[in-house]
């Protein structure tokens, strides 16, 4: 007989939408504005970084709360943002092809965006 178990687990789930923040470049704060879409471990989106439009490709771990965002400009220059959740936002470090690195922080623009704790649906278990 198939029955639903009452067991459920909390998990982190990022929600789609606008994100704003900054990254530290050579001692100055450079603004970041991104629109991200999270699907099945994959992040896609677009944004503006240092006055250049970037497309975003990345991965995220729903359970780990880690996120990797690769920002690529039209001329192919890439920056890798390596972040982890901090509240509803993401903080971490960035690295570009020249080896330059620094800190970054992003927070959701809309209230309903960001990393939220959600209840995972109870899993089906088989009894008998």
Partner 1 sequence: MSDTSDTSDTSHAGRHTDAAASGAGEERFLAALRRVFDTLRAAPPVVARLDARLADVAADLVRRARRRRARFDLVLREAPPEHGTDLALALRAQQGSEAALVEIRRRLEPVVLKRIYAYGLGWNEADLLELVFARVWDKLPTFRGQASLRTWGATLSANALKNWMRANDAKPEHVPLETTTGAAHAGAAGELAGDWTADGDVITHEREDQIRQMARALASIAREVLKPDDWELLQQQIVEGRSYAELGGASGRSEVALRKRRFDALRKLRAAVVERFGARFADDVHETLARP
List, as one string, the DSSP characters of 32-67: EEEEEEEETTEEEEEEEETTEEEEEEEEE-TTT-EE
DSSP state of 6: S
Q: Is 89 in the site for partner 1 (CB under 8 A)?
A: no
Euclidean distance between the first and the last CA atom of the chain, given in angstroms as a whole number? 7
124 binds partner 1, rule: CB under 8 A? no
How many other C-beta atoms can be found within 10 angstroms of the C-beta atom of residue 106? 26
Dist CA 19 CA 114 (whole Å)? 8
Of these, 56, 104, 106, 108, which contacts partner 1 (CB under 8 A)?
Answer: 56
The verdict on 75 binding partner 1 (CB under 8 A) reads no
Residues touching partner 1: how many (CB under 8 A)? 46
Closer residue to partner 1 (CB): 35 or 88? 35
Per CB under 8 A, 108 contacts partner 1? no
Residue 26 CB, nearest distance to partner 1 (Å)?
19
**Tokens at residue 78, please?**
């890439």
Question: Residue numbers of the site for partner 1 (CB under 8 A)?
Answer: 11, 13, 18, 31, 33, 35-37, 39-42, 44-48, 51, 55-68, 70, 72, 78, 80, 82, 84, 95, 97, 99, 109, 118, 120-121, 123
């Amino acid at each position: 007989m198939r029955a639903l178990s009452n067991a459920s687990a909390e998990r982190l789930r990022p929600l789609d939408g606008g994100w704003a923040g900054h990254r530290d470049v050579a001692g100055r704060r450079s603004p970041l504005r991104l629109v991200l879409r999270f699907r099945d471990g994959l992040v896609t989106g677009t944004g503006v970084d240092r006055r250049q439009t970037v497309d975003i490709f990345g991965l995220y771990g729903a359970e780990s709360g880690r996120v990797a965002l690769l920002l690529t400009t039209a001329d192919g220059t890439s920056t890798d943002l390596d972040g982890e959740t901090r509240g509803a936002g993401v903080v971490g470090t960035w690295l570009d092809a020249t080896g330059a690195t620094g800190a970054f922080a992003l927070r959701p623009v809309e209230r309903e965006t960001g990393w939220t704790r959600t209840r995972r649906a109870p899993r089906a278990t088989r009894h008998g």
